[in-house]
A and B are shown apart, each in its own frame.
Chain A
């Protein structure tokens, strides 16, 4: 009797959340999958079924391939910068936990992560500006040639990697700090007694012991890298905001196909590809964790 009362309370209490969830998460997700197999130009009432036609077309679409390449380069580039830097930085901050500045360190490293994307991108935009920015001023001061940072397609991708890494670094440091605090102290004391110096115990003990954390941060960084949009929107449009100069990334290409070219089904197919990439990355993470026997 009591159990039945509890059951009905649980159902009634979770129902509102579950209903909202179905409405704003489950339904649009299923709709994305469905639309990716259909053709829909926004205006016409009928949405003919086209099977995998959208996907086949995507892989011969230069703009999409361009977007996919750029996005992948940005995601992996940002990860390659963020992981080693945040690990070393967290190691030093952890080592100086008792320093009276440790609060300042943590705050300063984390601020770029909490500043909203657009003001942060504005800050970097001026630094990278070819004609007015301090970066070229420094390069020229050192005797180099000014570079068209935000106009050259390769350089602007590098700029976006820089901006994304600067923002992710604080997150990485934070998670690694949690990791360092959870490491068994005794192992390190033993290593110290055996004469290992700080650098050696970092390289041969912390790095392998923190592998699960590294895996987690890598996957989170990669997934957020694949969703990059605001950074490209602000940074790589020229000062007049002409959209033609934007670095093409997946989300941008998707929105353009949907709202400018009126090809919603086609855009949904892109979304499904984005989803598959994210699922694949997550599965690799779980697979590697299980392969290592967890921790």
Chain B
């Protein structure tokens, strides 16, 4: 066999292997969606069926009419949206400042930002909870937001991009033309940061959307649950109805997976940047 033919055969085998692995990785999610279409009776059949014999939309109907799932999704969406706005705004401005204004005071502030970046949220969330409580913000999106207003990694990401892609000469030229600092930030710097800011926005949104430990302590009333907390408590609040539970999980999962597939480039850019900081 010629070398070329052998290479082609190896490649074919590798493709097959990758396909099998990818399908295996996605199987739990596919099965979850399939379970959402099963009748409660079929869920109790042994051996379990992989795909519904008698698919029904009843579970989805029930989930949206009889449970506060929509309310929970709305809570999560609002929280994630506001958190994204806050993180993008603070990171853009602070990232630009620490990247381009190397005064000693600014450097000290940057070191403080960085030093706390590795401390997990779980470490300080209990004192933060009492701060939120003192403000009377428990069970409100505002209280939830307190934990997700800033992101050290976001500031770092923007700083790296500012240093790499915005030449000092450009800023100097604008200053000589008499432009004010805010004008420069708004009309010169921000447009050049569109890519990294989009990546950061996607990252921030997903971070808030999937938050769990913080919402579970701040949101204790059923109406104010986020979708993650709501789903997790679903299993104790409702009778054990696995098909209903699966339908609810699938209804939550599918939009976020679709959003990811559409925004994959931005997402990957953001995450990959986190690994490049050596």
Contact = CB atoms under 8 A, between A and B. Distances in A.
B242 A126 contact: yes
How big is the B interface, by class?
35 or more
Interface string B104-123: 01100100110010111111
A126 B32 contact: yes
A255 B217 contact: yes
Interface stretch (A17-25, A48-56, A61-69, A76-84): A17-25
A36 to B, nearest CB: 10
B122 A254 contact: yes
Contacts of A213: 275
Contact of A29 (B119, B260, B275): B119
Contacts of A279: 118
Contacts of A116: 209-210, 227-228, 252-253, 256
B25 A216 contact: no
A137 B250 contact: no
Contact of A268 (B127, B246, B250): B127
Contacts of B48: 132-134, 137
Contacts of B212: 117-118, 229-230, 233
B103 interface: yes
Interface string B18-29: 110111011011
Nearest to A31: B127
Contacts of B250: 119
Contact of A169 (B25, B147, B227, B275): B25
Interface in B77-94: 90, 93-94
B25 A108 contact: yes
Contacts of A87: none
B118 to A, nearest CB: 5
B47 A141 contact: yes
A9 to B, nearest CB: 4
B111 to A, nearest CB: 12
A118 B232 contact: yes
Contact of B15 (A101, A119, A171, A174): A101
Given A28-B131, A175-B275, 6 more contacts: A17-B94, A27-B127, A112-B25, A126-B31, A227-B122, A294-B278
Interface of B: 10-11, 14-15, 17-19, 21-23, 25-26, 28-29, 31-32, 35, 43-44, 46-48, 50, 90, 93-94, 96-98, 101, 103, 105-106, 109, 112-113, 116, 118-128, 130-131, 146-147, 149-150, 152, 155, 175, 181-182, 185, 206, 209-210, 212-213, 216-217, 227-228, 231-233, 235-236, 240, 242, 245-246, 249-250, 252-253, 256-257, 260-261, 264, 267-268, 271-272, 275-276, 278
Going nearest first, the 4 A-B pairs with the smallest beta carbon separation are A241-B236, A108-B22, A31-B127, A10-B101
13 contacts: A16-B93, A29-B124, A96-B11, A114-B267, A115-B29, A119-B250, A126-B35, A131-B46, A132-B44, A134-B31, A134-B48, A217-B275, A227-B121
Interface of A: 2, 5-7, 9-11, 13-14, 16-18, 20-21, 23-29, 31-32, 35, 89, 92-93, 95-96, 99, 101, 104-112, 114-120, 122-124, 126-127, 131-134, 137, 140-141, 166, 169, 171, 174-175, 178-179, 198, 212-213, 216-217, 223, 226-227, 229-230, 233-234, 237, 239-241, 251, 254-255, 258-259, 264, 267-268, 271-272, 274-275, 278-279, 282, 289, 294-295
